[in-house]
Structure 1
């Protein structure tokens, strides 16, 4: 019948892919992993190779992958990004997070304000309007979360104090960047709607406030009640299910999916929700008591023999293990402890067992390859675009490098002596820290004079001190600044929205050819995403070399290269 729409097929016809498709996709996946492993081994930034593979195989390069395949890779890669951010939340140390919240906020605000302010130089470079300059700065104010967590994982700094500050600041920049998406979308429309701009901010703040309150006043009491019930009924179905890794995996996955879906429908970042999900599980593992082998463990009561497990192995000598109670036979205690370790149900253990293989080998490589799909490499090499892009890249790199100044030790010279004399005459009352009372911690004693347990306790106190000493070297500020330099996915999203809405166009309308301003911004995003991880990798390599030389010369004693910022 004329004008009738075709009926939807009942099923997708199965066709065997041709050998060329098989070879292209096989080489794509294999090279993503080979290049990542090679570059991670050399400079801890294998993700750069994955971006280049995406450029070469995708639409910007040889165009060996069809549009449908590229869209599928983008979708699967974004799942990898969500899980990368979720893993970052699992590694969150709450003592360090609370102690460094003000510092992280300062780093984040610097990373947002300076790039936006410096972007107004585009008014001279490309005759950009103030609105165009703001949109470009908004695209460059974000920090790539996927790049951040990948670099921290490759360098081994995820759980360090430096990693906590960097993660928190990058997350704040990301939330600000996603708010900018709404702002830029409204700038390109007919009218400016305040609700669509304010809504992501209010929803993000609500998530950041309501989730911790729910954990404290709902999750923790329910967990304590469950612990008492499980201790009173060790053979109950609840106790049996709670000890299974499959049960914990299901609960963790439902929490992640629920928060991500809720945040998306509410109007805020699903990446922010993924981080909160991981951080919530980390809090539950570390701050809430749990029964183990019929006893309830609480990290605050580690010295109480009634609240500790039957075995407490030391970290420096696994062969020298002593039972904490005389009534527990060593052999049975060791067997019980081995069983407990084999059934570890912490968030990190569940992630490593169920998620990590797929994320590290498939989803994460696909995500960074999908970034390569977004780079219009064939349009970027006009002379006027190249030199303007390089200049703007330098300005944007310095905009983020300013974040490292928060960790730089400045010498005040004679002014320092005057300030010290004035402060000695004025007796100021002690002001408790916003997140709890904390005292300054002195430098740890030499490792040869303390046991492993005491060293770990001192390191934890140093890491959670709200007033850390400034680093003596420039390595911590440099690593922080370079890691903040990478833009990545949020930058491409913001610049793409601005280009699609005609903001970057001189006529204010969309066109089939990319505008000059869009290409200049793309240059800055690409080069910053290369410079940041590469610089971090080289810096970490230098730090490890210096640390190894120090250990050889001083036999493991003395000050670490990163100082308190490398403490886990």
Structure 2
């Protein structure tokens, strides 16, 4: 008879030492890769490859599955933190440019893929589309991880170029979800009854647009007035406990709605963070308007902000456990040994370079926008003045353009998800095509963050001081991590 409970057994010493070594190498590799190549995510990916099925298979299979789930929670928290700390006024001001950047980041990889894979390598049209869809996505988790890693020298979330990057990455993530939904059903399109292709494609688009539109509307006209009038003054009594309870409820609600509606859970996590930034009052006497976390904790009529609470309850666990597990889980999914045939290597490297260029081209929107919006004179400038103006635009936009293009390169979890759906759930993707795609996804996920880290190290200060750099927040005197003051750019302040 099986006991109706889990029987407690002391773990074996070998298992304990394996787990201790796994987490130790996760931390050491993250530190080393951050110091050496300024891209801390690379080390945990390498550790995942070594400890997981791709290479040594040291971890038990059920451990790897558990770490994958825990890592995905870490990914959700990375995106949620990004939503809490993102400058919404900058997102709104640069929305049009972000849309152009996102479209460039999707269309260029698809177009280049058909030129190389379909016309050059002879892959099928549908197979090429699936691989191209995987390489058109941008890793939202990696994007926020890169931004957080660079914030020690410059807080990219407070810059114009950072706002364009975040918006474009979110849009690419949603477009990747749409294509993954289509790919997931490709194997059943010929079945009877065939799925409704229009609804299959339209559902994620409609769901994403609806959530993006309804979130600010409901926040402004429904939830913010209720919160400010009836709730927020009670939060000062329990401080962090009230905050973390509301944060868990809001995050759970948004990701559940996103999942059942058919859009990205990660998109839901991002919206949950931005939703919370708008709820509290922005009046100087408001409970959440504080100069520091200590003020919110000590004064009876003040409360720590949601960012303060995230830092207290979640940040250490996310930084040292969940986020490394997420990047290690990417390593678990890399078929490492299959990558090393001569044919796989040269095709993978060629495709990697092409896909690097395809996303890197996104950065061109920065100098084009700078030139288009530079001050115009009533009279045509002299030829010498034109040259000087071109040099000025070039010098102030080159580094931000490089930053945007490099940061969009990483494909990460979204690219792996799409190509594995195509390989495992359809008959269109061959083993050769799958390995070619894996090469491009893996190397782009490594090279992009490396390039961003090095660029920020040497040019971060110049970017921050330039026209695409730091922008003073509304109510700049109210800071201390309180991002409620930053939601002004998304929606006008409602009357209390």
Structure-2-length-normalised TM-score = 0.84
C-alpha separation in 1, matches of 2:177 and 2:245? 29
- Corresponding residue SS for 1:108: helix
Are 2:265 and 1:270 aligned? yes
**Higher mean displacement: 174-183 or 33-42:** 33-42
Are 2:414 and 1:490 aligned? yes
C-alpha separation in 2, matches of 1:387 and 1:259? 43
Alpha-carbon displacement from aligned partner over 1:410-451 (angstroms, at most 9, x marks no partner)? 9989xx99x966899xxxxxxxxxxxxxxxxxxxxxxxxxxx
Are 2:17 and 1:23 aligned? yes
> Which residue of 1 is the match for residue 351 of structure 2?
392
Are 2:123 and 1:128 aligned? yes
Whether the 8 Å CA contact 2:344–2:435 is kept in 1: the answer is yes
**Higher mean displacement: 9-18 or 213-222:** 9-18
User: Which of the pair has the greater relative contact order for Cα pairs under 8 Å at 6+ separation?
Assistant: 2
Whether the 8 Å CA contact 2:255–2:269 is kept in 1: the answer is yes
How far the C-alpha of 1:13 sits from its partner, in A, is: 2.6
Whether the 8 Å CA contact 2:422–2:429 is kept in 1: the answer is no
How far the C-alpha of 1:226 sits from its partner, in A, is: 2.5
C-alpha separation in 2, matches of 1:499 and 1:83? 29
Whether the 8 Å CA contact 2:235–2:242 is kept in 1: the answer is no
Distance 1:344 1:563, change over 3 A: farther
Distance 1:521 1:174, change over 3 A: same
> Which residue of 1 is the match for residue 277 of structure 2?
282
How far the C-alpha of 1:19 sits from its partner, in A, is: 1.5
> Which residue of 2 is the match for residue 222 of structure 1?
226
Counterparts of 1:79-90 in structure 2, within 5 Å, are 79-90=73-84
Whether the 8 Å CA contact 1:140–1:525 is kept in 2: the answer is yes
Are 2:217 and 1:258 aligned? no
Counterparts of 1:93-492 in structure 2, within 5 Å, are 93-120=87-114, 121-156=116-151, 157-189=156-188, 190=190, 191-194=194-197, 195-226=199-230, 230=233, 238=234, 241=237, 244-285=239-280, 288-289=281-282, 295-296=285-286, 339-340=298-299, 344-408=303-367, 472-492=396-416
C-alpha separation in 2, matches of 1:67 and 1:179? 30
1:44 corresponds to which of 27, 38, 41:
38
C-alpha separation in 2, matches of 1:376 and 1:541? 33
- Corresponding residue SS for 2:8: coil
Whether the 8 Å CA contact 2:349–2:440 is kept in 1: the answer is yes
How far the C-alpha of 1:473 sits from its partner, in A, is: 4.6
Alpha-carbon displacement from aligned partner over 1:487-541 (angstroms, at most 9, x marks no partner)? 00010000000001234445xxxxxxxx000000000000100110000011111
C-alpha separation in 2, matches of 1:535 and 1:226? 48
| Matched positions, count | 449
> Which residue of 1 is the match for residue 468 of structure 2?
564
Distance 1:279 1:410, change over 3 A: closer
Distance 1:274 1:341, change over 3 A: farther
Distance 1:105 1:249, change over 3 A: same
C-alpha separation in 1, matches of 2:407 and 2:370? 25
Whether the 8 Å CA contact 1:74–1:370 is kept in 2: the answer is yes
Distance 1:337 1:367, change over 3 A: closer
C-alpha separation in 1, matches of 2:369 and 2:270? 34
Alpha-carbon displacement from aligned partner over 1:251-306 (angstroms, at most 9, x marks no partner)? 11110011111211221111000000001112235xx335x7xx44898xxxxxxx
Whether the 8 Å CA contact 1:385–1:520 is kept in 2: the answer is yes
- Corresponding residue SS for 1:408: helix
RMSD: 3.0
Larger Rg: 1
Gaps of at least 5 residues in structure 1 are 1-6, 231-237, 300-308, 314-334, 425-468, 507-514, 548-558
- Corresponding residue SS for 1:38: helix
Gaps of at least 5 residues in structure 2 are 382-392, 473-496
How far the C-alpha of 1:372 sits from its partner, in A, is: 0.2
Distance 1:68 1:560, change over 3 A: closer
C-alpha separation in 2, matches of 1:169 and 1:181? 18
C-alpha separation in 2, matches of 1:224 and 1:155? 34
Distance 1:496 1:527, change over 3 A: same
Structure-1-length-normalised TM-score = 0.73
Are 2:443 and 1:519 aligned? no
* Structure (1/2) with the larger helix percentage: 2
1:34 corresponds to which of 7, 14, 28:
28
C-alpha separation in 1, matches of 2:330 and 2:106? 22
